[in-house]
Amino acid sequence: MTSPILLTGGTQRLGLAIAEMLLDKGETLIITYRTAKPAVDLLAKKGATMIQCDFQRQEDIESLIAQVRNQAPVLKCIIHNASDWDAEKDNLASPEILQKMMQVHVNAPYLINWALEGNLRQFNGFADIIHMTDYVQETGSAKHVAYAASKAALHNLTLSFAKKLAPDVKVNSIAPALVMFNEWDDDAYREKSQKKSLLEKVPGAIEAVKAVEYLLNSDYVTGQTLHLNGGRHLK
Ligand SMILES: NC(=O)C1=CN([C@@H]2O[C@H](COP(=O)(O)OP(=O)(O)OC[C@H]3O[C@@H](n4cnc5c(N)ncnc54)[C@H](OP(=O)(O)O)[C@@H]3O)[C@@H](O)[C@H]2O)C=CC1
Ligand SMILES: Nc1nc2c(c(=O)[nH]1)N=C([C@H](O)[C@@H](O)CO)CN2
């Protein structure tokens, strides 16, 4: 058995695509999920260890850390993918949304990285931490203010943990812009959104999969952001 990789939010969309790629490569996976769904059993059948965990619950975070410490004394990688994309409603500031966004995107990754530092340092070679951030980490968002702030904070964790854990652990952000539509996105939104990037496409989860593969194979990239935005920053 290879040293495990911990992937959070791995049962749908980008996380599921990343999970399936890693399993197909023979990696050992510990995958967290919040909501029961068929993908949980599918991934378990492929050999993944599935752990139910809601990062809004402190006791769940502590339980996850204890289980990973026990199951993975040597840890190869942590991929913080779990995320909610909440918007402020009716142009009202929402302390609840800010707390929720900071909890899942900042508190949980911070505590998990800190607690599992020793496990990562045991890995023979460069271990990895990958934070799934967002294009808005640098631009902000008028409609997802708390979400954007939390993703910017998550990217700052990339910089700090890259400094703190070198030279044993590489720490990087992957910052997608729109790479995968949601099922509720209508044709008008899809048409308009395609045009937001220079390349005028929405590539799907495969671009996140390729970015994870690149970072895991690199021996000289840390404290960086892989921007998956089709040139949107130049539009
Ligand atoms: N899709 C895109 O185009 C973009 C994605 N990103 C980022 O890339 C990553 C993957 O995106 P995408 O696949 O669309 O993500 P999703 O919106 O599909 O969410 C991924 C997973 O996060 C889990 N999750 C949410 N809240 C919690 C929580 N409190 N505790 C535990 N798990 C939780 C969900 O678990 P469950 O289903 O079990 O409830 C879900 O499966 C995210 O970090 C996202 O912010 C950034 C920009 C664009
Ligand atoms: N957790 C999620 N975060 C984000 C999602 C998503 O579906 N889940 N989607 C986006 C959008 O694609 C946005 O990039 C469109 O401009 C952002 N974050």
Residue-level pLDDT at 91: 81
Active-site residue, selected from the candidate residues 147, 189, 214, 220: 147
Cβ-contact 212, 20 below 8 angstroms: no
What pLDDT sits at residue 193?
A: 95
**Is this prediction's pTM over 0.95?**
yes
193 lines ligand 1 (CB under 6 A): no
Q: Which ligand is nearest to the CA of 39?
A: 1
| pLDDT tops 90 at residue 79 | yes
Phi and psi of 170, rounded to 5°? Answer: -90, 140
Ligand nearest to the CA of 176: 1
Cβ atoms 26, 2 nearer than 8 A: yes
- Mean pLDDT computed over 94-110: 97
Cβ of 9 below 6 Å from ligand 1:
yes
Question: Residue 84: CB within 6 Å of ligand 1?
Answer: yes
Please state the atom number of ligand 1 nearest to the C-alpha of residue 100.
Answer: 29
Contact 9/15 with Cβ under 8 angstroms? yes
Domains of the chain with CATH codes = 5-234 (3.40.50.720)
Other CB atoms within a 10 A radius of the CB of residue 38 amount to: 8
In tens, the pLDDT along 185-235 reads: 999 999 999 999 999 999 999 999 999 999 999 999 999 999 999 999 999
Ligand 2 binding site (Cβ under 6 Å of any ligand atom):
83-85, 134, 177-178, 182
Query: Tokens 């918007």 — which residue?
Result: 87
Question: Average pLDDT of the chain?
Answer: 97
Active site annotation includes 147: yes
The stretch 35-42 carries a mean pLDDT of 98
Contact 177, 135 (CB under 8 A): yes
Residue found by looking up tokens 């130049």 in the block? 234
Q: Which residue, judged by its Cα, is nearest atom 11 of ligand 2?
A: 178
ipTM of this complex prediction, to 2 decimal places: 0.99
pLDDT cut 90: percent of the chain above it? 97
Indicate whether 109 pLDDT > 90. yes
